[in-house]
Structure 1
Amino acid sequence: MKVTPCIDPAPDFTGQTIVLPGAGGIANLGELCTDALITRYGLQRVAIVESKHLLPVAMVNAFDAKTPALTTAAEIYQAVNGASTLSVLQLRSCAVEGRRWAVAQELLRWAKDAGVAKFLVLASCSAHVKGDADLSEPSPLRALGAGINEWPELLPLGHSLSDAELGDAPGTANAARNLLRGSGLARPLLEVAAEPSSPSAFKPPSRVAPGVCCICAFTNETLDWRLPEQLLAAVCKYLSLPATELLRPPSWLLAQQAQIAPPVNNLHLW
């Protein structure tokens, strides 16, 4: 994986939590939320990421069609004025078929070399895995991975199941393996980052990077547009970001239009 800076001096990621989507998940929920973070806090592109395991993408600027700069498959955004330490890795492309775990390994190795403290993954989770206890809960959000005890307001994924049923505690890598469906890269990232000495570890163990935590939301292919706002609010609270007005990025409008548009020649616009 190659990370090419777009600014001088090159961005520093030491000790930072980097937010990224579970690219390729149901309804592109994670990508929509990361776009909203970029817009809401005025982040600017500071690096372009290239990987042979990601499908290539080149499109008009995702935030301003009048700006000549192209948007690519993977880019890192930061607040370059120093007002915030927020960093976002936006992934607009899915992994090549069968290469999700390779992408996860690449990302985590780079994170270790760059001194990143943690990845915070925003993901979707197929609503079909909900149990009776989930149906009675008001929030559709669930937490997984490192430091989930830092989110007392969020239930861990699999909270209604016993340790014996999950093979470990709720919210762990085993919970991700058993329950996290339709999450794109979220599950591979959690699996690859599992501690080798933990009962949640996957074989072969591969502890190559800092911790990975995930906030996921139960969803279907038809997105409930309250979910992106709820997920965004949870992220801002977790990262202690200042409260600002929600500015909907262009991708939200495009996704909403595609969701309500009729099929064309039996192919959906999404």
Structure 2
Amino acid sequence: MFAKGTWLVLGAMIVAGFALVGPSASTDALPVKPLPSDAVRRVVPNRVMTWNICNPCGESNVDRAAAIAAYAPQVIGLQEACVRDVEKIRDNLEDLYGLAYHVEYGSVLHNWGRCGGMPWSPGGYGQAILSAAPMTDHVIVEYPDGGSEDRGYMAVTTTVGGRSLRVFNTHLAERRQETVRASQTAVLAAAVARHDRAILLGDFNAVPETPELSRIWALAMDVDEQCRPGLIGTCEATTDWHSKFDYVFLRGILPLGHHVRPTAASDHHLLYADLDLSRG
């Protein structure tokens, strides 16, 4: 029999071990699912994607990688992303599907309950951008008011469709925090306005006609050309609760087409678009 002190030490080691690997690590041993027959086999140079991967949802990073690999965009903006999860997603994309990506992080919160690590060294949480081309001029900006949780945006310069472009990725405050989102879009719009051609990816937690998005609409268009304020049309939902919260905004760039793909790996759908970089 172990002494009482020994059991306490063993228990602490078990808890510390779970915290170190993070909440989603146990699901990564799931069998790899084959990609659909029409899946893309190599990176599409003019394709960009945004996806809130849902955290904490306990989903497999193997399944997340498979969902991305089926469409193989040049650039992917992830929200609710833990650094450790993104590292595994990137490794799975390369090891299982031969898709190599660079990665930059936009962590604005460090939380071991969400992202693992130790209480004194928690994992980073926020946004991430994966790009098949190298990225430069990486910035992370935390909004002065995040609402109920720290929020921010990140930006990089990378290549899309053979052109060097500024790419932003953001996650705005939660649904019922309209005034907070309005202050956040003021900060974000000021940054985007400095670029004649830019791509803005993210989960805005707001449907198109909400006032807090007016500054963004004044600068850019969404890839869904039938979904914008004042236009009679049907917005394609990007969430399991049938709302349009996720956007690929374009400034000085035109869309060729877009697709929304529900996935069991998140409560947000994948949204990807192919872009026309020759016109703007």
The two structures have a TM-score, normalised by structure 1, of 0.30
Q: Which has the higher contact order (CA 8 A, sep 6+)?
A: 1
More helix by share: 1
More strand by share: 2
The two structures have a TM-score, normalised by structure 2, of 0.29
